[in-house]
Amino acid sequence: MLRAENLTKRYRQGDKEVVALEGFTYAFPKGATAVVGPSGSGKTTLLNLLAGFDLPTEGGVFLDETPLHRLSEDERAGVRLRHMGFVFQQWNLIPTLTALENVAFPLLLSGWPRGKRLKRAAELLEQVGLAHRLHHLPHRLSGGEQQRVALARALALDPGILFADEPTGNLDAESREQVAALLFAQGKARTLILVTHDLELAQRAGRILYLKGGRLLREQVLEVPQGQHL
């Protein structure tokens, strides 16, 4: 389980102190949790702290009983590689690698032999409907296809936690639905933390955290319509 305890982040801007997040405490259960709020509410700061990209001013982040905030930068990177997957608004694919090679890249970093990692990458691309695009470079893929490659890459090491930061923000309506359906389907067996401005997308998660001014205002648990349950 991933949990935050009294998570706080403050910045200095000249003589002024900016509170980006204050006193956030929450244990993220298995399944999908959406984080919503206006710009500047602390959504991105929260994601960066939960994933160990940044360190809190106060409080901590725990993966089971491991205190991420007390680990070194290299140790946190190792935790992310083994236990977390990421899907961003910008797909962040490596432009010189094919779709197959992009998905296989985390497996390469983890020491998988070539044949095994390419087989795993091909299986994942087939799952997201891209078996016919294995050897295409990113610039030859549509936006929706690139995001599906990014999702397959995020799932390469079967992470227990999946972060999605505005994953449908740059997509047309058809691609948005394809990516959303795949994303929520993959949330069945893991913890999915979805940061979005799209309230309709957030409501499909079934659990919504509302942030404002760096504080958690409330949690809303919805009954997800049949067929959309994680």
pLDDT in tens, 11-26: 888 888 899 999 999 9
Number of residues in the chain? 230
Collapse the DSSP code of 90 into the 3-class scheme (helix H, G, I; strand E, B; otherwise coil) and give the result. Answer: coil
| Burial readout 138-172 (b: 16 or more C-beta within 10 A, e: otherwise) | beebeebbbbbbbbbbbbbbebbbbbbbbbbebbe
The two structure tokens encoding residue 101 = 């090679």
What is the domain partition of the chain in residue ranges? 2-221
Distance of alpha carbon 158 from its chain centroid, rounded?
Answer: 13
**In the prediction, which pLDDT does 63 show?**
95
C-alpha–C-alpha distance, residues 29 and 204, integer Å: 16
How many Cβ atoms sit within 10 Å of the Cβ of residue 13? 7
**In the prediction, which pLDDT does 224 show?**
59
C-alpha–C-alpha distance, residues 102 and 198, integer Å: 28
**In the prediction, which pLDDT does 86 show?**
94
**CA angle (218 as vertex; 214, 224 as ends), nearest 5:** 125
- The CATH code that applies to domain 2-221 is 3.40.50.300
**In the prediction, which pLDDT does 154 show?**
95
Is residue 162 within 8 A of residue 192, CB to CB? The reply is yes
**In the prediction, which pLDDT does 172 show?**
87
Point out the residues of the chain with pLDDT beneath 70.
Answer: 224-230
Is residue 201 within 8 A of residue 166, CB to CB? The reply is no
C-alpha–C-alpha distance, residues 126 and 81, integer Å: 22
**In the prediction, which pLDDT does 112 show?**
96
Is residue 199 within 8 A of residue 36, CB to CB? The reply is yes
pTM for this predicted structure: 0.90
Is residue 211 within 8 A of residue 44, CB to CB? The reply is no
The two structure tokens encoding residue 229 = 């349950």
